[in-house]
Structure 1
Amino acid sequence: MEISISRATDFAILAQFLCGLNQNQNHHIGYCGESYEEILQSLEEDFIDKNGRKTFLIVEDLDGVMAAIGLDIDEESASAEVWGPFVKTDLNPQQISMKLWHEIQGKYPSIHTFYFFINEQNKGALSIMKEINAAQTGKHLVLQIERENFIPLKNIKSDLFQISDFERFANIHNKAFPNTYYDAKTILNRINEQQELRILKDDKGNIQGYAYFEVAPEHGEASIEFIAVSPHFQNQGLGTILLKEVLTRIFMYESIDKIQLCVSNTNDSANHVYHQAGFYTKNQLLRYLYIR
């Protein structure tokens, strides 16, 4: 079977293709969203290389795009998150997937580390991981909660972050999340009307915990980035309180009717807090690493 591969030219068409497949667990890739608007925004922001070229390859037939693979590239670390392979055909899907995989590696020889995030129901992509000897490095849960299934709190105990809280907040954050993608100073610099850091204190003014979340009401989206409780105040249900307060705040935005988050399936204490607040498991994802 002869396969013609080309570089994607129209992100709008590609987003429609990815949206249609990624809502199906049998094709689902964890990095890729499920709404057209979310996927299109990610493509336009993250899938352009340093030379201005789109970092997505596609295979087309008479009906349009039938397969695709893309790289969200980090030049500094010579690594990439892989979107795909996505294949919408029953005719030699593994052959098409492998052809796309080898082709996109050839386009970017400087990239040595590749990360995959694949739904455990996506047997096609998982067979590719086996064929290329990628290493499974973790299992994650995609949790979801809908507005209609959440009872908002009437009273909010936490307060907005004040600069006088920084040192104590940073101490809790950096111990709870060492070497994370946002350190305490980064969070401080990100705070605005739609990126909120809330601090929970006891009657003596001691910081018991904090929560940091971001909302994008124009896209109907929100992300809960960090929640942590000080070691001195754990096992008192404060994590659940903070989470419910964040959900109460987020669902004040009328455009946001559901929230998703991704957690490791090994973090039993955190997962218990999420389920206590009303989240349920929507997808289970397997993380893979390939180094050439």
Structure 2
Amino acid sequence: MKAEILEHSNLMQAAEFIAEMNALPECHIGYLGTSQNDIFQSLEEMNHDPESAAFIVREGNALAGYLGIDSDLNKGTAELWGPFVQKNEFMRLLWEKALHYFEGNLHTYYLFADTYNHTAAGFASKNGFRLQSAQTYMELKEHSCNGLRKVSLLPFHRHGEFIHLHDTVFPHTYYSGKEIIEKINADHKVYTSDDADGLNGYLYAEYNREEKEGSIEFIGVDPCKRKKGIGKSLLEMAVHDLFVNSGAKSIKLCVGTTNEKALSIYKKAGFKVERSLNFYKLDIRE
């Protein structure tokens, strides 16, 4: 038995396999959704990405293991979409195949798994991943928005201020300030707050039109301007815009499990805790 590259013709079978497993806390990986349609779209995007690859293990005609490597070769980093396996021994086959495939091109791997996913935790421990943080996944599914609300979006002349603030508040994260600027469009927005001194806070959110789902990726407030309700105001603005103007049916976010203040703000805004996840990192240069 061996691991092989996932071909386009097998994407639907893989989506079915992953959807069934990712719905279970003991198998859940945070980088993928739980609906088969959402997962299929993600797999299709990966299949068309020349930098990334996915690997499978079969037992007869049935899929028995899957591992996707969502790579950024420029940074030398990748997210692990999996492993999803019927038997633990398949993890080694998939991981060795992936490491060999990307040898010399990637040095850092990230894994984001439900706290109940002991299979992923065991895989992480065995292969040298280090636990970086615990995250709480929250979702807002129903919201009553009344009246009009001013939506303040990042203007061009504040791009420099935004990049500086984001890179100061989040110095080592998955999107730099420059990368967020490059993503801005009708579905990727930076909401802002300012005063006489300039930009004092922002919120970056993305909207998936197909799934009618919003996601809040970052909320950053100038360290000198905190405890003034800026984050709360930005959250209310983004939630209103996503539900009323974009037509979102739900909004999701992740927050550090130990960040009690942020958790309190989100809960007061109506967000409900859906699951808890652990974030792991492997740097093969260390």
Asked whether the two chains share a fold, i.e. TM above 0.5, the reply is yes
- Once residues 49 and 186 of structure 1 are traced to their aligned partners in structure 2, the CA distance between those partners, rounded to angstroms, is 18
The aligned residue for residue 90 of structure 2 is 96
Larger radius of gyration: 1
- Once residues 49 and 168 of structure 1 are traced to their aligned partners in structure 2, the CA distance between those partners, rounded to angstroms, is 32
Partner secondary structure for residue 126 of structure 1: helix
Structure 1 stretch displaced more, 225-234 or 5-14:
225-234
The aligned residue for residue 17 of structure 1 is 17
Taking the TM superposition and a 5 Å limit, the aligned residue runs for 1:241-260 are 241-252=233-244, 256-260=248-252
- Once residues 67 and 248 of structure 2 are traced to their aligned partners in structure 1, the CA distance between those partners, rounded to angstroms, is 30
Partner secondary structure for residue 88 of structure 2: helix
Of all paired residues, the percent bearing the same amino acid is 29
Deviation at 1:13, TM superposition (A): 1.9
Partner secondary structure for residue 57 of structure 1: strand
Partner secondary structure for residue 244 of structure 2: coil
Cα deviation 1:24-79 (Å, max 9, x = unaligned): 111101112222233223223235674x8x72221223562121112112223433
- Once residues 249 and 122 of structure 1 are traced to their aligned partners in structure 2, the CA distance between those partners, rounded to angstroms, is 35
- Once residues 247 and 78 of structure 1 are traced to their aligned partners in structure 2, the CA distance between those partners, rounded to angstroms, is 34
Distance 1:241 1:6, change over 3 A: same
Distance 1:166 1:101, change over 3 A: closer
Deviation at 1:97, TM superposition (A): 2.0
Please report the TM-score for the alignment, with normalisation by the length of structure 2. Answer: 0.84
- Once residues 107 and 166 of structure 2 are traced to their aligned partners in structure 1, the CA distance between those partners, rounded to angstroms, is 31
The aligned residue for residue 286 of structure 1 is 278
Number of corresponding residues? 281
The aligned residue for residue 163 of structure 1 is 156
Deviation at 1:277, TM superposition (A): 1.2
| 2:215 is equivalent to residue 217 of structure 1 | no
For residue 122 of structure 1, the aligned residue among 114, 117, 124 is: 117
Distance 1:60 1:240, change over 3 A: same
Cα deviation 1:82-103 (Å, max 9, x = unaligned): 1211123xxxx22222232223
Unaligned runs of 5+ residues in structure 2 are: none
Partner secondary structure for residue 69 of structure 1: strand
Cα deviation 1:219-266 (Å, max 9, x = unaligned): 322222332333444212231121022111111257521122222223
| 2:229 is equivalent to residue 237 of structure 1 | yes
Please report the TM-score for the alignment, with normalisation by the length of structure 1. Answer: 0.82
